[in-house]
Amino acid sequence: MTIPTEPVGSIPRPLELIETVARLGTGTHPDLEPLYAAAIRDTIERFEETGSPVITDGEQRKYHNFWTYSVDGLPNTAPDGFSIPFAAGHVRRMPRLTAGPFKYRLHADQYLEAAQKYAKVPLKQAVISPSALSLLYPAEGIPDYSREQFLDDLLSEHVKEVRRCLALGAHAVQIDFTEARLAVKLDPTGELLTRFVELNNLGLQRFSKAERSRIGVHTCPGGDRDSTHSADVDYAELLPSLLQLNATHFYIALAGEADHVRVLKLIAQHLRPEQRIFVGVVAPIDPRIETPELVRDRILEAAKHIPVAQLGTTDDCGFSPFCDDTSTTRDVAFAKIRARVEGTKLAARALGVA
């Protein structure tokens, strides 16, 4: 037995790629293809140099962001959809669905297939949650296309995407559920979060037990331009519901929390035997680079509350999950990842499971 460690996903894009996308005004221009290929190859090489046993492609081709990659450019959408305010004062906006039927424009297995050309170690693939994309549907409804029809189409697309990634040999598929904590902020009654959990569980129940053993869920308070959208929401309002999801792995932001022990006790209280908790041990929006020793100590602290057999480590969030975010450099991101990997090894030795 050892302590597994995995990244969440995003890595800051190279500046040349960011600047070229901004200049061309689109992420699909043919002139971008060699830049995407170079960014993916460099990301994978640098990821492997950190010693990380599981890597990603850094979401280099999710040219807008991790949230709307599957629907950007759909002809039946408008740009004035749901808005996500961040503590720094800026707002990110989703598309709004204008007509049915709903279909993804692309599926994440395309990213995985491209990354497999370069990777020598296992790859995981992040996908967006059905609950996040449910926010595409407008509150006023769509004529001749009910919300129920939309949600059925959405779940079909989500399940198709996850299955394609599993079939390609993804080490794991991570469902990004960053809107979970935001849901509590938007609706303190908890009803919105309950609906989100129920919707995501409808998707998860379509997978076999063997498939679910390779499916995880990520939650964090957001991370964009060194800011968050819901860090002020008490984890006590989220974690009991989150751990009702029928997934095997949970990637939970922790390093950026003020009271680690309180959060760990909450997790331990609601943890089920078949679940593994990957605790965040580095904070992507903190400019300070953690030392391996600090990471080790955070893991040893977690092991006091979570059985080592159910413990893993991760990053709190993706690094620069929105394509124009230059607040974190690639060098800093990989330095933090290296600290996570080395600190996890130190903790495993200290716990006698190396």
The angle at the Cα of 222, spanning 162 to 306, to the nearest 5 degrees, equals 75
What is the pLDDT of the chain when averaged over all its residues? 93
Average pLDDT of the segment spanning 279-291:
95
Q: Token pair 């950190």 is at which residue?
A: 50
Judge if the upstream peptide bond of residue 53 is cis by omega within 30 degrees of 0: no
Q: Token pair 């309002």 is at which residue?
A: 237
pLDDT at 141: 97
Q: What is the CA radius of gyration of the chain?
A: 19
Which CATH code for domain 15-351?
3.20.20.210
Q: Pick the more confident residue, 283 or 23.
A: 283
What residue ranges do the domains of the chain occupy? Answer: 15-351
pLDDT over 90 at 140, yes or no: yes
**Residue 54 DSSP label:** S
E-state strands within the chain = 77-78, 83-85, 91-93, 96-97, 124-128, 172-176, 215-219, 249-252, 276-282, 311-315
Tokens of 89: 């004062």
What tens digit of pLDDT does each residue of 343-354 get? 999 999 999 998
pLDDT band at 1 (very low <50, low <70, confident <90, very high): low
Q: Are 182 and 227 in contact (CB under 8 A)?
A: no
What tens digit of pLDDT does each residue of 206-246 get? 999 999 999 999 998 777 777 778 778 899 999 999 999 99
pLDDT over 90 at 26, yes or no: no
Nearest-CA neighbor of 322 among 84, 129, 33?
Answer: 84
What tens digit of pLDDT does each residue of 195-214 get? 999 999 999 999 999 999 99
Residue type at position 274:
E
Nearest-CA neighbor of 238 among 177, 306, 308, 286?
Answer: 177
| C-alpha distance from residue 117 to each of 11, 214, 334 (Å) | 18, 21, 21
What tens digit of pLDDT does each residue of 52-94 get? 999 999 999 886 777 889 998 899 999 998 888 787 787 788 8
What tens digit of pLDDT does each residue of 305-344 get? 999 999 999 999 999 877 777 888 999 999 999 999 999 9
What tens digit of pLDDT does each residue of 165-201 get? 999 999 999 999 999 999 999 899 999 999 999 999 9
